[in-house]
Amino acid sequence: MTARGRKYREAAAKIDSDKLYSKTEAIRLIKETAYTNFDPTVEVHFRLGVDPRHADQQVRDVIVLPHGLGKTVRVLVFAEGEEALLAEEAGADFIADDELIKKIQGGWTNFDVAIAVPSMMGKVGRLGRVLGPRGLMPNPRAGTVASGDDLPRLINEAKAGRVEFRVDRTSNVHAPIGKASFSEEQLLENLEVLLDAIKRARPPATKGTYVRKIVLANTMGPGIKLDTAEAIP
């Protein structure tokens, strides 16, 4: 196993690995243990008591963080005609015409969020091999397929801090809540919105303990365990 660097060890020394921290304590520590020479992303990792092999135990939702993610979000929209003009006016960074679609087929994915209007889904479907593995495939269930007045709203939400989360095949959920440079209050408010969404997304078929573990971490930093009873009462 690769030895950890000095800065990582110094950050880890500030954390009691056996303690379950309150939300306020964890947010304070997450800022104290940010040691990289760039502004790291603060991430939350959940271990859930669900079996994602069953359709009735899926956990998935979309939220808009009140303080955003602290980064520039590049939005690509699959649209034509008037809807393309509407998307451009709403601030879309890229409009996927036939030429750009060919570029995506070749592997280009220099964007963070993809939104499509229903009439373009036939063309978008052919891009699944490229977009799917990167989590960029527009999907009605994820709220990234829309038209009319919903299109500008989706673009604005994506740029403001829209986060989609879903349980993976190992029963874990991973989601960002901002940057280490955010104030403690901003990170705490973003965290509480995510925690509330996870709680509301509990599948009715789930039995036993739903949230088994919650860990906060900076990019490249040590994990901080949350007290799940306090975080999601």
Confidence (pLDDT) at 2: 59
- Over residues 111-120, the pLDDT tens digits come to 999 999 999 9
Name the average pLDDT for the chain: 92
The verdict on 155 and 168 lying in the same domain is no
**Which percentage of the chain shows pLDDT scores above 90?**
78
The verdict on 155 and 220 lying in the same domain is no
Per the CB < 8 A criterion, the answer to whether 97 and 199 are in contact is no
The verdict on 96 and 62 lying in the same domain is no
- The number of folded domains in the chain is 2
CATH number at residue 196: 3.30.190.20
Query: Where are the alpha helices (H) located in 90-227, listed in sequence order?
Result: 98-105, 121-125, 128-131, 150-160, 184-200
Confidence (pLDDT) at 161: 81
- Domain membership of residue 7 (yes or no) is no
- Over residues 1-34, the pLDDT tens digits come to 457 889 999 999 999 999 999 999 999 999 999 9
Confidence (pLDDT) at 78: 95
- Over residues 154-188, the pLDDT tens digits come to 999 888 888 889 999 999 999 999 999 999 999 99
Confidence (pLDDT) at 1: 47
β-bridge mates for residue 211, sequence order: 48
The verdict on 133 and 81 lying in the same domain is yes
Q: Is the pLDDT of residue 79 over 60?
A: yes
- Domain membership of residue 10 (yes or no) is no
Separation of alpha carbons 70 and 59, rounded Å: 25
Nearest to 60 by CA among 227, 213, 231, 200: 200
Q: Is the pLDDT of residue 95 over 90?
A: yes
Q: Is the pLDDT of residue 140 over 90?
A: no
Going by pLDDT thresholds of 50, 70 and 90, the confidence category of residue 143 is confident
Q: What's the domain range around 225?
A: 16-69+162-231
Strand 162-166, strand 60-64: pairing: antiparallel
Q: Which of 135, 160, 185 is the last residue of a domain?
A: 160
Separation of alpha carbons 74 and 110, rounded Å: 8
Confidence (pLDDT) at 142: 79
Query: What's this model's pTM, rounded to 2 decimal places?
Result: 0.81
